[in-house]
Amino acid sequence: MAVVGFDVGFQSCFTAVVKNGGIETVTNEFTDRCTPAVVSFGPKNRTIGNAARNQIITNPGSTVCNFKRLHGRLFQDPVVQAERTNLPYDLVPLQDDRVGAKTNGLQMEKGQHCCCYSP
């Protein structure tokens, strides 16, 4: 029997497997044991990890990173308001007053210009 564990961190993620009495950290498609915690949204696709990290420069408004510390916080929280100026993407209030990330990618319907995501 094997057990899989996930460590989703602030800047990176790890996946490990316990089997045959040992622990093995699983590598990603770039043979790294550490995958960046980044998601980038394009007009018709979504990329994660290293590919998304590479889009921070070319597509900053639709690339979400460093969002974990904002999970579960209200939009009016002083931490969220202080962080807004440091992020390349927009933070917006959701229907339940929690914080969400607004991006300009993955248009779901004709005429829709942005999407809002929450943890």
The DSSP element (H or E) to which 38 belongs, if any, is strand 38-41
Which CATH number does the domain housing residue 38 bear? 3.30.420.40
Reported as a single tens digit per residue, the pLDDT across 5-32 is 998 888 899 999 998 889 999 998 888 8
Q: What domain range includes position 46? A: 3-117
Overall number of domains in the chain: 1
30-72 pLDDT per residue, tens: 888 999 999 998 888 889 999 999 999 988 888 999 888 898 8
**Taking the model in full, what pTM does it have?**
0.75
Strand partners, 41: 46
Among 54, 74, 46, 70, residue whose Cα is nearest residue 119: 70
Helix (H, G, I), strand (E, B) or coil at 63: strand
Cβ–Cβ < 8 Å for 96, 75 = no
